[in-house]
Amino acid sequence: MPIALLASEASKSSEKFVDFDVPVAVWVGFVALISVLLLFDLLLVHRTEHVISTKEAAIESALWIALGIAFTAVMFWWHGGAAAGEYISGYLIEKSLSVDNVFVWALIMSYFAVPREYQFRVLFWGVFGALVLRFVFIFAGVELINRFEWMIYVFGGFLLYTAYRILRQGDEEVHPDNNPVLKLVRRVVPSTTRYDGQKLFTRIDGKKLATPLLAVLIVVETSDVIFATDSIPAILAVSHEQFIVFSSNAFAILGLRSLYFLLADLRDRFDYLQQGLAVILAFVGVKMLISHQVHIPTWLSLLVIAAVLATSIIISWYFDKDSDDEPKQPPVFVDDAP
């Protein structure tokens, strides 16, 4: 297909997405809102270190999810039903993919034997870093699509490959000690194997040393880079408006910490969630690849994503309920030199 014709069709496809100008004041206000929510959670709700109970995590998760869903009404009031539909679709995609992120966090915490009362603080900085990273990725991804329309095929193909990789690898274990960034940091940053509360650095015999929490934070942040390369292209399949994509990401990520404390110990009860996430990624990948020929409405995308996610959870719950085997325990790794 000639390049000019391809660009023309891509342009027509892009017109099917919501497009509006966002004043700088709105961006500043939204970032300020996210910052206030983060600080409120850190300085007031979790100002003292403690083990977060399942009940506390469930209440907080419900509040964060309610807040994220409620923002749909703001988008509807501001720019109508199409914008609201793109927002909630993006939110649902990010929320469903983040469940896998939560399980990886659980493996990381187990690997480094992080005491449960210290986990919230390191995850706070992990979420903060994830928000900054997603902000950069989103603007870069949208700009790439706007400047080079053929990039939508690259993103679509990448999502299909990711779906295939998830199905093929299954529940392959994560080994944080193989993280190349962590290996580099350990070579240049003096470290200790002892925790000192929630501190990332401590002093021992007058020397400033990194605690194992710094290593945990590094692994959490670098693992989020991998998840971002999956989730950002997936959301770009349902919206090209930067504010919609970032806001849906932000509200989904804000609730990740409470979701972690709610689901971290339940990984083995969601045996079919991986397959469900692979199907979702494959669907949005195909949606991207055929977007110049066939436009899949936002409401249909939302319906498919919700149905696949719900089905994978229900099937996992059903087979876990009927299983006569002993309950499976999450793997515990021992770190010889954090």
For 268-288, give the DSSP string.
Answer: GG-TTHHHHHHHHHHHHHHHH
Tell me whether residue 97 is in a domain: yes
**Is pLDDT of 111 > 60?**
yes
Q: What is the pLDDT of residue 332?
A: 43
30 vs 309, higher pLDDT: 30
Domain membership of residue 250 (yes or no) is yes
Place of tokens 């989020």: 224
**Token code pair at residue 58:** 């469930």
Q: Specify the pLDDT at position 247.
A: 92
209 belongs to a structural domain = no
What number of other Cβ atoms are within 10 A of residue 1's Cβ?
7
* 182 falls within a domain: no
Does any domain span residue 175?
Answer: no
Structural domain of 281: 3-101+122-170+221-322
User: Which of 170, 142, 104 minimizes the C-alpha distance to 249?
Assistant: 142
96 domain-assigned: yes
How many domains does one find in the chain?
1
The residue-averaged pLDDT of 53-80 equals 89
For helices 242-254 and 256-263, the axis angle rounded to 10 degrees is 40
DSSP label at 17?
S
39 pLDDT band, cuts 50/70/90, is: confident
pLDDT in tens, 225-283: 767 776 778 888 788 888 999 999 899 888 888 888 877 656 556 667 777 777 877 88
CB 261 within 8 A of CB 289: no
* Residue 10 within a domain: yes
Q: Is 176 contained in some domain?
A: no
Q: How far apart are CA 16 and CA 12, in angstroms?
A: 7
